[in-house]
Amino acid sequence: MSYGSGTLSVYDFIGAETADILMAWKAQAGNPLTQQVGLQADYKRTATLIEYSPDYEEITRTWVLEGCWISSI
């Protein structure tokens, strides 16, 4: 089974180190300056999406997302 693209919006401070990590991950998919595309094995990841309770005290649901990558930031 496969799904189309999705969007993740972050409405919180993530910090410069996290932003750098996300930018480096995005760069593995391809370089827009050279038009070089990376290898899927280098940029596709398995991610876990976690839903917390409103008070952030407990995890209410989790999803495992396979084959994720960042196409734009």
DSSP letter at 48 equals: E
* Model pLDDT, residue 34: 84
Residue 73: pLDDT band (50, 70, 90) is confident
Question: How does pLDDT run across 13-44, given as a tens digit for each residue?
Answer: 678 888 898 888 888 888 778 888 888 888 89
Report whether pLDDT(49) > 80: yes
Identity of the amino acid at 19: A
Measure the CA–CA gap between 10 and 49, rounded to whole angstroms. Answer: 13
The secondary element (H helix, E strand) that includes residue 61 is strand 59-68
- The answer to whether the Cα torsion of 62, 67, 71, 73 is positive or negative is positive
Measure the CA–CA gap between 8 and 48, rounded to whole angstroms. Answer: 13
